[in-house]
């Protein structure tokens, strides 16, 4: 069995918004990805994948900045659209349990209180596995105290937090010279993931919520590849003119590298088993979950799914480790087995 924990979908609510608000912009590109919104077509793709062994998807929403403009993300109508999106994803997953193990909810992220309320509703009432948050996509730094209630709720419920990078060159804090050649997406997003996780760690997220299931996209960005530099950070604190690193080191209960190893990650590396091996070597096979980013590969997901499967088969020699990554970790951490739902309060659940 392969349980694909990161597969995007456009709900009918989001499709309607795109067609109405962006008829000549994003809508044509996204709607051309048929498996994003045509469920019957998507089910056929999943059936084709079963020729390589049993396969199920966890549905994750399209990142808000790819559907809504900045004004809409902060606007009063977003909450209703997000709620409808979540209801629709829950219904799709429930109608096709053999193909979809479940879903991940979206939140009206610009409003921390509303985001927390919607996240709790989706986990406790709809059975969502957790929520997807976009890494500072609309100038809402997730490490700020106002978002702690959201992380606290997910920790208490034992639910996951899928962390998705999604800033563009026009967003605050993003390097404008990455606008050309799609550098903002290919390299910028991995950096953004790394920075967001680092900010959360140094803000004490794991000291406050030690059982938090934070799941980072694309193998955790640059973290496994720069682990030596992370280990050097305490010795380089004197180079920080702001003094923030020294203050954080005095406050944190562990060494920085120990917190980075607490992150869960997926395998959406798009080919290249060397990268997958590095991810597994750093985080360990018990914190890596099979995820592909399907269907965003121009082949309805078939390329990403097959390539990621091949990457793992080629990079990980241990059959036990491959089993853990393909399905065991999802069953243990997210409780994907039938009958293991819904979530009930208890932060140690699934650890």
Average pLDDT, the chain: 91
pLDDT value of residue 137: 60
pLDDT at 344 over 60: no
Q: Is 131 helix (H, G, I), strand (E, B) or coil?
A: strand
pLDDT value of residue 340: 65
Q: At what angle do helices 39-49 and 302-315 cross, to 10 degrees?
A: 30
pLDDT value of residue 71: 78
User: Could you say which DSSP state residue 68 is in?
Assistant: S
- Cα angle value 304/57/283 (rounded, 5°): 70
Structural tokens at position 149:
């209630």
pLDDT value of residue 55: 97
Under 8 Å between Cβ of 78 and 68? yes
pLDDT at 72 over 90: no
| 87-96, 113-122, 300-309, 327-336: range with lowest mean pLDDT | 300-309
pTM, entire model: 0.94
**CA-based R_g, the chain, Å:** 19
Higher pLDDT among residues 341 and 167, named by residue: 167
Higher pLDDT among residues 75 and 318, named by residue: 318
Higher pLDDT among residues 351 and 233, named by residue: 233
Q: Which residue pairs from 256-262 have beta carbons closer than 8 angstroms and sit at least 24 positions apart in sequence?
A: 256/201, 256/202, 256/230, 256/231, 257/227, 257/230, 257/231, 259/201, 259/206, 260/197, 260/198, 260/201, 260/220, 260/223, 260/227, 260/230, 261/287, 262/206, 262/214, 262/287
Going through 120-235 in order, the beta strands assigned E by DSSP cover 130-135, 160-165, 213-216
pLDDT value of residue 25: 77
pLDDT value of residue 188: 84
| 113-117, 270-274, 336-340: range with lowest mean pLDDT | 336-340
Query: Which pLDDT band, with edges at 50, 70 and 90, does 138 fall under?
Result: low
Once rounded to an integer, what is the mean pLDDT over residues 10-39?
A: 90
pLDDT value of residue 73: 81
Cross-strand pairs, 69: none
């Amino acid at each position: 069995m392969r349980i694909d924990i990161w597969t995007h979908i456009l709900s009918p609510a989001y499709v309607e918004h795109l067609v109405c608000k962006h008829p000549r912009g994003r809508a044509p590109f996204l709607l051309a990805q048929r498996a994003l919104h045509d469920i019957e077509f998507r089910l056929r793709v999943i059936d084709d994948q079963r020729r390589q062994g049993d396969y199920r998807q966890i549905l994750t929403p399209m990142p808000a900045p790819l559907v809504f403009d900045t004004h809409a993300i902060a606007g009063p109508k977003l909450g209703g659209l997000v709620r409808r999106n979540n209801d629709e994803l829950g219904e799709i997953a429930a109608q096709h349990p053999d193909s979809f193990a479940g879903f991940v909810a979206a939140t009206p992220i610009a409003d921390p209180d509303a985001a927390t309320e919607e996240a709790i509703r989706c986990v406790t009432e709809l059975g969502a596995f957790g929520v997807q948050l976009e890494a500072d996509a609309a100038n809402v730094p997730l490490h700020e105290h106002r978002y702690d209630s959201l992380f606290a709720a997910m920790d208490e419920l034992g639910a996951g937090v899928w962390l998705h990078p999604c800033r563009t060159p026009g967003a605050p804090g993003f390097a404008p010279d990455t606008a050309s050649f799609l550098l903002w997406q290919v390299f910028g997003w991995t950096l953004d993931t790394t920075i967001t996780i680092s900010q959360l760690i140094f803000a004490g997220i794991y000291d406050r919520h030690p059982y938090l299931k934070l799941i980072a996209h694309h193998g955790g960005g640059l973290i496994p590849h720069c682990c030596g530099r992370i280990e050097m950070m305490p010795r380089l604190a004197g180079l920080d003119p702001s003094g923030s690193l020294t203050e954080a080191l005095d406050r944190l209960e562990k060494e920085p590298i120990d917190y980075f190893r607490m992150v869960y990650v997926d395998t959406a590396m798009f080919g290249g088993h060397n990268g997958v091996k590095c991810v597994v070597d750093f985080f360990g096979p018990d914190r890596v979950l099979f995820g592909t980013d399907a269907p965003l590969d121009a082949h309805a997901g078939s390329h990403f799914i097959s390539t990621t499967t091949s990457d793992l088969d080629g990079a990980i020699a241990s059959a036990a480790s491959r089993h853990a990554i393909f399905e065991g970790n999802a069953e243990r951490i997210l409780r994907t087995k039938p009958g293991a739902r819904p979530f009930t309060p208890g932060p140690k659940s699934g650890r």
